[in-house]
Amino acid sequence: MNAIDLFAGCGGLSKGFMDAGFEIIVGVDNDQAALNTFAKNHNGAIALNADLSKQETFDEIVSIAGDKSIDVIIAGPPCQGFSLTGPRNFDDPRNRLYLAVLEMVKQYQPKGFVIENVPGMATMYNGQVKEEVLRRFRDMGYNIECKILCAADYGVPQVRKRLVYMGVRADIGTPVFPDPLLSPDKYITCREALDDLPSRERELGQEFDEYSSEPRTDYQRMMRGTCIVLSNHVATAHKQFVKDTIALVPEGGNWKDLPAGVGESRNFHEAWTRYDGNKPSRTIDTGHRNHFHYKYNRVPTIRENARLQSFPDDFVFTGTKTQQNRQVGNAVPPLLGYYLGKALLDIISGED
């Protein structure tokens, strides 16, 4: 089965689909730094920097596909326009990027598709935007369902929730979401995900490519696979007053646990949050200043956040550190993508 990834970013969702058995033909985005990472990690898939609101981009995708069929479309389009325009103005130009996905499905009639978005889209305007998306795909001849999924239920060491639409062409079958694999008391923890990685306490700002220990958990073994080179694991060299402030935050705590007068320049919800080693992480964001390692007095490295997102260690991020953080934070966890891809592949293949 062939798939294309729209609004691909660095390719977390398509990495999961690739691991589930799909061939990724092309990933489309307008962030060149993310596309450089996509190209490095997707077995020859084309990284296309293009505007998805233009028909020329659709034509270029078909040209790249050549004689390969476009069996599945996966996408993570932005939905910010809907918050400004409302459901009655669904076709407003500000929603053009989301509408581009509907148009792509309409033109090329893939066997199935998966679209992910923020959970808030499910309740926007009392659910009217979500219902309009469902209605339009059903009018195109697709059976479609949507559901809010938590990545931690599927073995990702992170409590990250996403709204996922799954559509299957009506002549093929009906969407079925993968069942959760883990209950909350069995979630993979930060410690289970990370404690085989070197501390980097003495190599701040330096790149070293060696592991310091054997994997200690099944999750760590899965993330390493056959990888023998440790990449993207560079610790930030904080100023001493920052390290001193972080040291005051207990494991699992945040800015509310700091003494009066300390760290008050950053006192919003996520500020000065230290992960709890015995729990999954909170949602990985696109920055790197607010969350701290459960044990060390520093922000997580790119590799540590990538582990918490379920990117395997052989997935190498490129670009500046800021760009890499944005790529990791914006991505769909590949492990969640894997189970979605596997479920969709089974439906299209007619397997139970």
Tokens at 258, concatenated: 């700091």
DSSP run (H or E) holding 291: strand 291-292
Q: Let me know: does 172 contact 112? Beta carbons within 8 Å.
A: yes
What pLDDT score was predicted for residue 195? 94
pTM: 0.94
Both structure tokens of 95: 């929603």
Q: Specify the CATH superfamily of domain 2-183+332-349.
A: Vaccinia Virus protein VP39 (3.40.50.150)
Please tell me the predicted confidence (pLDDT) of residue 258: 87
Residue-level pLDDT at 286: 81
Give the model's pLDDT for residue 175: 97
E strands in the chain: 2-6, 23-29, 46-49, 72-75, 112-117, 142-150, 161-169, 273-274, 291-292
Q: How far apart are CA 217 and CA 191, in angstroms?
A: 9
Token digits of residue 333: 């966890």
Position 48 scores a pLDDT of: 98
- pLDDT of 351 reads 66
Residue segments in the chain with a per-residue pLDDT below the cut of 50: none
Task: Single out the catalytic residue among 10, 79, 146, 190.
Answer: 79
Q: Are 281 and 291 in contact (CB under 8 A)?
A: yes
pLDDT at residue 266, rounded to an integer: 64
Active site residue 79: yes
CB 5 within 8 A of CB 24: yes
Domain boundary assignment for the chain: 2-183+332-349
Q: Is 313 exposed, middle or buried (0-12, 13-18, 19+ CB in 10 A)?
A: buried
3-class SS shares of the chain: helix, strand, coil, % to 5: 40, 15, 45
DSSP H or E segment with residue 347:
helix 334-349
Residue 161: its pLDDT value, please? 96
Instruction: Provide the pLDDT for residue 77.
Output: 94
Query: What angle in degrees, to the nearest 10, is found between the helix axes of 96-108 and 55-65?
Result: 40
Q: Could you report the per-residue pLDDT of 142-170, keeping only the tens digit for each?
A: 999 999 999 999 999 999 999 999 999 99
Q: How high is the pLDDT of residue 301?
A: 94
Q: pLDDT digits over 165-178, tens only? A: 999 999 999 999 99
